[in-house]
């Protein structure tokens, strides 16, 4: 930062991306749980099906958490002038 508001737009863009990723993480946590619980009571899921659903949701959540790293991998950071 250089003491001005020049980087404020980048900060807002970063927060919007963060909010999008966190919303998707919330859904990847909630949806497999609902499927698991519904599957046990309605579809008579066993332990194996519940574990597969849980681990699939965990893998998708981890992948989503690492997605911003892929998005910003090619960007080079600006060097500060001293």
Count of domains in the chain? 1
Q: Is residue 12 part of a domain?
A: no
Q: Is residue 55 part of a domain?
A: yes
Q: Which residues of 42-71 are buried (b: 16+ CB within 10 A; e: fewer)?
A: eeebeeeebeebeeebeebbeebeeeeeee
Q: pLDDT tens-digit profile of 13-27?
A: 889 999 999 999 999
**pLDDT value for 22:** 92
Q: Is residue 14 part of a domain?
A: no
**pLDDT value for 9:** 84
Q: pLDDT tens-digit profile of 41-79?
A: 999 989 999 999 999 999 999 999 898 888 877 776 666
Q: Is residue 29 part of a domain?
A: yes
Q: Is residue 77 part of a domain?
A: no
Q: How confident is the model at residue 80 (pLDDT cuts 50, 70, 90)?
A: low
Task: Give me the domain span that covers residue 46.
Answer: 25-65
């Amino acid at each position: 930062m250089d003491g001005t508001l020049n980087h404020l737009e980048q900060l807002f863009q970063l927060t919007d991306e963060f909010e999008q990723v966190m919303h998707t993480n919330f859904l990847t946590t909630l949806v497999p749980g609902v499927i698991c619980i519904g599957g046990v009571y309605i579809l008579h899921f066993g332990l194996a099906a519940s574990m597969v659903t849980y681990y699939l949701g965990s893998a998708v959540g981890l992948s989503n958490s690492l997605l911003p790293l892929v998005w910003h991998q090619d960007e080079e950071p600006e060097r500060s002038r001293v």
